[in-house]
Amino acid sequence: MRGAASLWRKQPLPFACHSRTFVSDSTSKLRIFDRQRKRAQRDRAAWSTPLHDPLLHSVAQNLLDRLQDCKKTFPTALCLGGALQPITRSLSAPPANGGVEKLIVMDASYDMVQACRNAYPASPNNAVQKEFLVADEEFLPIKESSVDLVVSCLGLHWTNDLPGAMIQSRLALKPDGLFLAAILGGETLKELRIACTLAQMEREGGISPRVSPLAQACLIVRDAGNLLTRAGFTLPGVDVDEYIVKYESALELIEHLRAMGETNALSQMNNILKRDTALATAAIYDSMFSSEDGTVPATFQVIYMTGWREHPSQQKAKRRGSATISFKDIQKQFGSQS
């Protein structure tokens, strides 16, 4: 009982200063994420990310597998932020890359773009022409109807205005162009979130959002479908995959998140993380979630979204009430046969 009581003990909550900054920010525009901070984190990630990150690689593969299901080819492709290198690698190999002839690689971090450029230098015998560009997904500098394919691999979940960014991607697409995106969903890092909350309640007597931005406002599959429709994409498709990554300890998990540039960038986050809170988080994580072989698992939920820009050749649902045959008749017809 005593332990439980100390877990819930009340202390003055360190929220006062945060609420003030939130008010001043919300006057102009709702700002959930600090894009400038995210840019700096991605600059750092450009130097520490391994060339073949297995998680990013498998997500990118899974995302680009969808191209093989299309009969259409995509001569001009735009890669919007996120995992640049796996996407660039897959799209520049001629077989099974959706017929991409020209690839525009874009990211908000200059160092990330430069690292990708150094890893895949232009060579005359390479069929795929690559262009590099530093730009923000929220302010897409691409002319209307100019690309055939937009791919975003684990980048869009950091945008403040996700529908806005998706609408801009749709406008950049040619008619019958394809939009492919993978974003992290609400179940991502649930173990870390639980551990953080418990450690903060125990050590500081209150909680501040330390991991929750990755939760992306608990985006679920239905929301993703709504997002695609709201952004005006036709033939929307959504599916979800969960990856469980095993780490030696919680500290390796944090290192991996840093190398991917996926650490917290909430604009009203608490900038101070006390050492003993961090260690308590790691200890709680290890004790609550470690498996029999001594590793600790971390869940990454990835939501894959597919959408097309409108084109007359695409199939459409008929107007409501335009049917000439009743379902009852169909049932009679086929019901009597069986």
Partner 1 sequence: MVRGSKEVLQKAAKTLTDILVCPLSKQPLRYCEESNSLISDAIGVAFPIKNGVPCLVPTDGKILEEEDASKHDSDTNLSALNEESHGRSA
Residues that bind partner 1 (CB under 8 A): 28-29, 36, 39, 76, 102, 104, 108, 110, 113-114, 117, 124, 129, 131-136, 139-144, 146-147
Contacts with 123 (C-beta within 8 Å, 6 or more apart), sequence order: none
- List the beta bridge partners of residue 237: 306
Roughly what angle, to the nearest 10 degrees, separates helices 84-92 and 54-68?
40
Closer residue to partner 1, CB minimum distance, 36 or 331: 36
Go through 171-180 and write b for each residue having 16 or more CB atoms within 10 A of its CB, e for each that does not. Answer: bbbbeebbbb
Closer residue to partner 1, CB minimum distance, 28 or 68: 28
Q: Shortest Cβ distance from residue 326 to partner 1 (Å)?
A: 49
- List the beta bridge partners of residue 273: none
Closer residue to partner 1, CB minimum distance, 134 or 220: 134
Closer residue to partner 1, CB minimum distance, 212 or 267: 267
Q: Shortest Cβ distance from residue 125 to partner 1 (Å)?
A: 13
Closer residue to partner 1, CB minimum distance, 134 or 283: 134
Q: Shortest Cβ distance from residue 193 to partner 1 (Å)?
A: 30
Q: Shortest Cβ distance from residue 36 to partner 1 (Å)?
A: 7
Distance in angstroms (rounded) separating the CA atoms of residues 126 and 119:
14
Distance in angstroms (rounded) separating the CA atoms of residues 48 and 240:
28
Closer residue to partner 1, CB minimum distance, 147 or 260: 147
Roughly what angle, to the nearest 10 degrees, separates helices 54-68 and 250-260?
50
- Host H or E run for residue 313: none
Q: Shortest Cβ distance from residue 171 to partner 1 (Å)?
A: 9
205 phi and psi angles, rounded to 5 deg = 75, 10
Closer residue to partner 1, CB minimum distance, 138 or 241: 138
- List the beta bridge partners of residue 107: 134
Q: Shortest Cβ distance from residue 277 to partner 1 (Å)?
A: 32
Alpha carbon separation from 263 to 24, 147, 266 (Å, rounded)? 24, 31, 9
Sequence letter at residue 104: I
Q: Shortest Cβ distance from residue 39 to partner 1 (Å)?
A: 8
Alpha helices in 15-102 (DSSP H): 16-26, 35-48, 54-68, 84-92
